Structure 1
Amino acid sequence: MLELIQDYWLYFLVGQYPNGPLGGLSLTVLLSAAALILAMPLGLVLGVARVSPYRAVRWPVAVLVQLVRAVPLLLVVFWAYFFLPAVTGVKTGQATTMLMTLVLFDAVYLAEIVGAGIKALPKGQLEGARSLGLSYAQALRLVILPQALRHVSPSLVSQLVATIKATSLGYIIGLSEVSFIATQVNTLVFTKAVEVYIVLAATYFILCFGLSRLAFLLERRLGRRPALVSAESAKEMS
């Protein structure tokens, strides 16, 4: 296994880059991070609309969220790569197709995360902001969303973990992400399939477990903060 890593670690890490397209683990991480970052603005908008007091805003977003969540990501990748070019006449590359698909799914799941974070806040937060003369939009932007995003930050990290694992579906359209590169390495060496896929599994485990631990630590820190604030307030009062 050490010989396998020594011979193919660079190919496993960056694919054919700089003599070809970027691939491997670098592409997996960059694609996941870019998808989450690009999905954040849309996810915030959908999340706010998800808890809007107006039915005309809330219901269409609820339908969109449930529809996207009900369709397998694999099917959407197929549609985006094979069906849409036939209809529109515009063909996108594997990386662009996968990025657009991940952005759509991340935005929907972020909408649920943001909506849950807003609902978890006491209702008095919004009412207090409105009583100070802030409009509904100003109250959301200045008071509600900063608190909600802080509380759901562990869930955002967990969503990044889910996105990293979802990039492996790019294999079906020939995207040279880390699992596709592992399959190519297995084809080259042919007799070391067990070692190749052990390295692939270990890579996913280290990456995803590290991020999961980060989410856990963030959750613990956020859980301890209210208690620390209460203790400090008690000291000041005494």
Structure 2
Amino acid sequence: MSVLEGNYLLANLPALMSGLALTARITLIAVVLGIAWGTVLALARLSQNRILAWFATFYVNLFRSVPLVMVILWFFLIVPQLMHALFGNAVEDIRFTSALVAFSLFEAAYYSEIMRAGILSVSRGQFDAGLALGFTRQETLRIIILPQAFRNMLPLLLTQAVILFQDTSLVYVIGLSDFFGTAHKLGDRDGHLVEMLLLAGLIYFLISFLASQLVARLQKRRIR
């Protein structure tokens, strides 16, 4: 029986969709948290405070120099102990929480560089104009500089989100049943491992390709 037969796919569709939903959850939450923490790191790197600038630089260089799969394993070993110490047994899905922390902190290093480039792309004159209008330094950054930086870097932010979506397949190393992990388990169980992995690869390609096309269209509209 071929894995592409309707009955086989229909029987396993709920499990595959559940795995895809988990992949989407990790991606979306990690993107939001990664951009938020990455923006803080970008501002710290541009700060005149040497301690903040050193910390942010060290953080970015550290996470960009370590393989993501190793970071996932690190936090899988660290987060459960930390969560247990802080909340006891209140956190049920330790694997999901560990993966989310790992992806958010790892991606923040990349989002930090994107946001730093976005902030630097805004003319210094606009910062000076904000101060001349009576805004504080923080208000000028929040009201004038950061919105323009986000707009300038939106295509790159979305491109990094697509990369993050692809990288979520690495959570199989800690036993999470994301889309790739689910496809692998079903294929291994039913003797259709090659076909299921090819199917999973096709789905990843289609989603990533469509998202990349959307990014390209946004880029063209921004240039116009």
With the length of structure 2 as denominator, give the TM-score of the two structures: 0.88
- Quick check: 1:76 aligned with 2:71? yes
Q: 1:141 to 1:86 in 2, by over 3 A?
A: closer
Equivalent residue of 2:177, what SS? coil
* Matched AA of 1:208: S
* Matched AA of 1:216: A
Q: Aligned equivalents of 1:208 and 1:106: distance in 2?
A: 17
Match of 1:121 in 2: 122
Q: Aligned equivalents of 2:164 and 2:113: distance in 1?
A: 15
Task: Note the 1:10-29 alignment, pairs <5 A.
Answer: 10-14=14-18, 24-29=19-24
* Matched AA of 2:217: L
Match of 1:2 in 2: 5
Deviation at 1:87, TM superposition (A): 8.1
Match of 2:111 in 1: 110
Deviation at 1:194, TM superposition (A): 3.0
- Percent sequence identity over aligned pairs: 32
Match of 1:181 in 2: 182
Equivalent residue of 1:77, what SS? helix
Deviation at 1:128, TM superposition (A): 1.6
Equivalent residue of 1:152, what SS? helix
Task: Note the 1:192-231 alignment, pairs <5 A.
Answer: 192-224=192-224
1:101-120, CA deviations, whole angstroms, 9 ceiling, x for partnerless residues? 01101222111111010111
Deviation at 1:11, TM superposition (A): 1.4
Q: Aligned equivalents of 1:207 and 1:7: distance in 2?
A: 22
Between Structure 1 and Structure 2, how many residues are aligned?
214
Deviation at 1:177, TM superposition (A): 0.3
Deviation at 1:40, TM superposition (A): 2.7
Deviation at 1:54, TM superposition (A): 3.5
Q: Aligned equivalents of 1:110 and 1:166: distance in 2?
A: 15
Q: 1:63 to 1:98 in 2, by over 3 A?
A: same
1:22-70, CA deviations, whole angstroms, 9 ceiling, x for partnerless residues? xx11100111101111223222211111222333322221111111111
Q: 1:87 to 1:219 in 2, by over 3 A?
A: closer
- Quick check: 1:135 aligned with 2:139? no
Q: Aligned equivalents of 1:152 and 1:189: distance in 2?
A: 45
Contact conserved, 1:114 with 1:148, CA < 8 A, in 2? yes
Match of 2:150 in 1: 149
- Quick check: 1:67 aligned with 2:62? yes
Contact conserved, 1:121 with 1:148, CA < 8 A, in 2? yes
1:179-206, CA deviations, whole angstroms, 9 ceiling, x for partnerless residues? 110111112220x333212210111011
Contact conserved, 2:111 with 2:157, CA < 8 A, in 1? yes
* Matched AA of 2:39: L
Q: 1:159 to 1:27 in 2, by over 3 A?
A: same
Q: Aligned equivalents of 1:87 and 1:134: distance in 2?
A: 41
> Where in structure 1 are there 5+ consecutive unaligned residues?
15-23, 225-238
Contact conserved, 1:80 with 1:97, CA < 8 A, in 2? yes
Equivalent residue of 2:47, what SS? coil
> Where in structure 2 are there 5+ consecutive unaligned residues?
none
Q: 1:33 to 1:88 in 2, by over 3 A?
A: closer
Q: Aligned equivalents of 2:83 and 2:198: distance in 1?
A: 41
